[in-house]
Structure 1
Amino acid sequence: VGKYKSGKIGGKASRLIGHKTHIKPSKKAVKAHMEVIKGVIKQLKTAPQSALISKLNPIIRGWSNYYSGVVSMETFNKLDYTVWQMLRAWTASRCGEASYEKLKNYFHKGTVKLSNGKERHESWLFMTKDGFTLWKHNWTPIVRHTLIRPDATPYDGNWTYWATRKGQAIDTPTRVAKLLKKQKGKCTWCGQYFTPSDLVEVDHIVPRSLGGKDEYKNLQLLHRHCHDDKTALDNASAVSLTMEQSN
């Protein structure tokens, strides 16, 4: 590829390597994953549809999340088609030869809301009548890994950079990433930057026990020890308020 899309070797001797690397799930990993799904479908051949969905969802979501940082969308689409064929066979084994009338009791068209808040229209959903839906591989968004700057090190004292980068990590929950960005990498209790090794927790500014809502404007990100201090103070305030009301 050209210089604008070429990968590069970092460090002082940084240079273009003339191509970019595409990492994909290996054939061995895909085959092993499909064997697990096949085994579950076979094991729950006579179980209710909801039981099958409950068993498959964590398997599909976990595997998809693991490979969400590489070039996986093509693989995800192929897996979803294979799963559809397996579930079609599962349906036929329960009610004889597959037909549209039989399949529509298990498969539906519809719109789903993804974890990123976007809605997506699907031509088939393996879904119960009350809306319990099987997760698809290609509903997992691909999030590219952000390379560390060549001159950056956890010991350089640039906590602004490292705290911001923490929010870009693949395994960082969306809520934590948004709060890191909102707070510019600082703990709102002690005012210090979050370091790469810090344990962080989401806190309700107004505790739920005192009527606080679980919404972003009532959330903040704190160090674990800061969260412990605030929780102790909130509990003391709650006890004091209860005593005043009883008097």
Structure 2
Amino acid sequence: MLGLKTNIKPSKKAVKVHTEAIKGVIKQIKTAPQSALISKLNPIIRGWSNYYSAVVSSETFNKLDHIVWLMLRAWTVSRCGKASYKKRRNYFSHGTVRLSNGKERHESWLFQTKDGLTLWKHSYTPTVRHTIIRPDATPYDGNWTYWATRKGQAIDTPNRVAKLLKKQKGRCTWCGQYFAPSELVEVDHIVPRSQGGKDEYKNLQLLHRHTRDDKTALDNAKAVSLTMEQSD
């Protein structure tokens, strides 16, 4: 019907996986300095937010920021104790931040080190509406994802990337979304090599860069948990 719009939002599964990845990082480096935690989380949050910036994500971004704040508050309690309110305040501040679009925004809470290293929030990423593909676009105009998915081959495309695209029917195995020609894709070992996984075709999958960041964070967290269980 005319006059109706389809609003696409990040799926519940994508949000859950992303949340678990952040939780895994916080758990993995529980005793590390605040700067190390921020440096580990920022690329994960930025990558995920950039990927979903082309859909209706503002509400989701704000909810995720609140969830992250709760996780970080628990992280500070584990380090300082419930009674040490003044010590916990050392990890948080408030003030003005400059966003990627040049605008400034006042924040009631910032997870920030004393030298100014600040955790990037999901809501700092502006949402930009997707540009409709032009009518004259064809599978032969450099859209290597489309070409490789259907033909299993493409000029300037690595052989195993083309094979994985065809096997996965052009979709990321983690988030289920189609790969766009402009997106960064990476070959990932399903079972990490550090955990005994082999560098063979059946142990490979193609992921968006931001979903690989999420998966790597979860893999690392699982490895830490397994090591702790074995040492007990």
TM-score w.r.t. structure 2 length?
Answer: 0.57
Bigger radius of gyration, 1 or 2?
Answer: 1
Alpha-carbon separation, structure 2, partners of 1:133 and 1:28: 28
Alpha-carbon separation, structure 2, partners of 1:76 and 1:93: 26
Give how far 1:150 is off. 4.7
Decide which of 104, 126, 147 is 1:141's aligned counterpart. 126
Q: Which residue of 2 aligns with 1:104?
A: 89
Letter of the aligned partner of 1:67 in structure 2?
Y
Per-residue CA distance 1:16-49 (angstroms, 9 max, x = gap): 5441000000000000000000000001110000
Alpha-carbon separation, structure 1, partners of 2:127 and 2:137: 25
Letter of the aligned partner of 1:133 in structure 2?
T
2:44 aligns to what SS in structure 1? Answer: helix
Per-residue CA distance 1:139-188 (angstroms, 9 max, x = gap): 00000012245578899xxxxxxxxxxxxxxxxxxxxxxxxxxxxxxxxx
Matches within 5 A, 1:212-227: none
Once superposed, what is the RMSD of the aligned Cα atoms? 2.4
Structure 1 gaps of 5+ residues are 1-15, 156-195, 198-247
> Are 2:115 and 1:130 equivalent residues in the alignment?
yes
Alpha-carbon separation, structure 2, partners of 1:144 and 1:98: 46
Distance 1:105 1:23, change over 3 A: same
Decide which of 19, 31, 35 is 1:50's aligned counterpart. 35
Runs of 4+ in 1 over 6 A off after TM superposition: 151-155
Decide which of 64, 77, 84 is 2:49's aligned counterpart. 64
Alpha-carbon separation, structure 2, partners of 1:38 and 1:148: 37
Alpha-carbon separation, structure 1, partners of 2:118 and 2:83: 20
Structure 2 gaps of 5+ residues are 141-180, 183-232
Alpha-carbon separation, structure 1, partners of 2:83 and 2:19: 22
Matches within 5 A, 1:1-247: 17-97=2-82, 100-148=85-133, 150=135
Letter of the aligned partner of 2:100 in structure 1?
S
1:101 aligns to what SS in structure 2? Answer: helix
Bigger helix fraction:
2
TM-score w.r.t. structure 1 length?
Answer: 0.54
Alpha-carbon separation, structure 2, partners of 1:58 and 1:27: 21
Give how far 1:110 is off. 1.0
Alpha-carbon separation, structure 1, partners of 2:27 and 2:55: 30
Alpha-carbon separation, structure 1, partners of 2:83 and 2:33: 18
Q: What is the number of equivalent residue pairs in this alignment?
A: 143
Per-residue CA distance 1:95-142 (angstroms, 9 max, x = gap): 110654122200000111111111111000000000000000000000
Alpha-carbon separation, structure 1, partners of 2:53 and 2:73: 27
